[in-house]
Amino acid sequence: MSEDISCPRCKTSKYRNPLLKLLVNVCGHPLCDNCVDLLFVKGSATCPTCNISLRKTNFRVQLFEDSLVEKEVDIRKKILKDFNKKEDDFTSPDEYNDYLEFIEDLIYNLTNNIDVESTKRKIENYKKDNWESINRNRGKLSRDEEEIEGLIEAEKDHEQWKTQVLSVQENNFSKSKKRAAEALVDDLMCSDLPANQILARHASEKLQLEKRNAELPKPPPIRRPPSQVMFSTGIKVGKNSSSLFLPVPKQVEHEVYVYVEPTFDMEGPNPLGTKDLHDLGHIHHVRNIELSELAGGFIRTYPCQRAIQEAFCGLFYQPDP
């Protein structure tokens, strides 16, 4: 979370309070944890931004810097609990795509407060008409989920078997070390050989014991099945699929393409460039763009240049006699 983000109520920023923790609720408007404790001391209150009734127990830590993203994630989770049909439930890909598009429209409307009441009515009508399939699909796993569940179970069984094998090996090794230590004490007490020879012999036996223990076969790691990738067109590729890539076409010799900049007859004055728009002051008549527009690739000079071209285009037009 960047340092310029602050609580909209108390204006405390991350820069002034590094321990600042923003919380969000179903409405998506953030509040710091201190303001939540102060405003929701009775357990429920209204949001200071939109006046929606909220409960303190529904606040959660804000994960994304944009509160609108937090709101969309929360709405998406709730919508997908009921709109849980799979691709296998539809007769054609077009019907499934229309179903996905319908879900995205619902999420977009609720996130941006567009026709909220009618959108909620659509959701309720869908629940009434499809309550049987909703309850059935809640306990039904998709193919990907079934594959993941199988991998998790296989990993658990493998780890349990690996733990048992290693515990047996460690137990045998510890018993061998104990017997070697007891034999060393007996030899030092009863043997007529010098102590340095006895210690050297047991040291070599200990090294051989550790070497044999290190050479024992270890449980192999679990082998995952090769992953399968599906493109948006439905084509499955990978070692675990029957589809293969098409062969690479042979390169045919042809003429090298040369780009030629197109020319347009404006039938009027030549269009102004970006530098001319700033120097002549035309850009001052265009509103400042927002950060979201700038992120989308929208530049302030585009509408200014287009408006001037449309204004002067055709001034020199002469109809044919």
Q: Note the pLDDT tens digit of each residue in 126-159.
A: 888 888 888 877 766 556 666 777 778 878 877 8
Percent of the chain with pLDDT over 90: 0
Percent of the chain with pLDDT over 70: 84
CATH 3.30.40.10 residue window(s) in the chain: 1-65
pTM of the model: 0.40
pLDDT category of residue 245 using cuts at 50, 70 and 90: low
Beta-ladder partners of 77: none
How far, in Å, CA of 245 to CA of 228, rounded?
Answer: 13
What's the gap between Cα 7 and its chain centre? Answer: 26
How far, in Å, CA of 76 to CA of 164, rounded?
Answer: 44
**Fold observed for domain 1-65:** Herpes Virus-1 (3.30.40)
Q: What would you measure as the largest C-alpha separation in the chain, in angstroms?
A: 133
Closest alpha carbon to 82 in 131, 23, 39:
131
Residue 114 to residues 12, 79, 238, Cα–Cα distance (Å)? 31, 16, 43
Q: What is the enclosing helix (H) or strand (E) of 189?
A: helix 143-190
Q: How many CA atoms lie within 13 A of 293 on its CB side?
A: 10
Handedness of CA 58, 60, 63, 66 (dihedral sign): positive
Instruction: Please state the φ and ψ torsions of residue 141, each to the nearest 5 degrees.
Output: -90, 145
pLDDT at 239 over 60: no
**Over the stretch 171-217, which tens digit does the pLDDT of each residue have?**
887 888 888 888 888 877 787 778 787 788 878 888 887 777 777 77
Q: What mean pLDDT comes out for the span 1-22? A: 78
Take residue 74 and report the two structure tokens written for it. 């929360």
How far, in Å, CA of 27 to CA of 71, rounded?
Answer: 7
pLDDT of residue 145: 66
pLDDT at 223 over 70: no
pLDDT of residue 93: 86
Which residue did the predictor score with more confidence, 170 or 230?
170
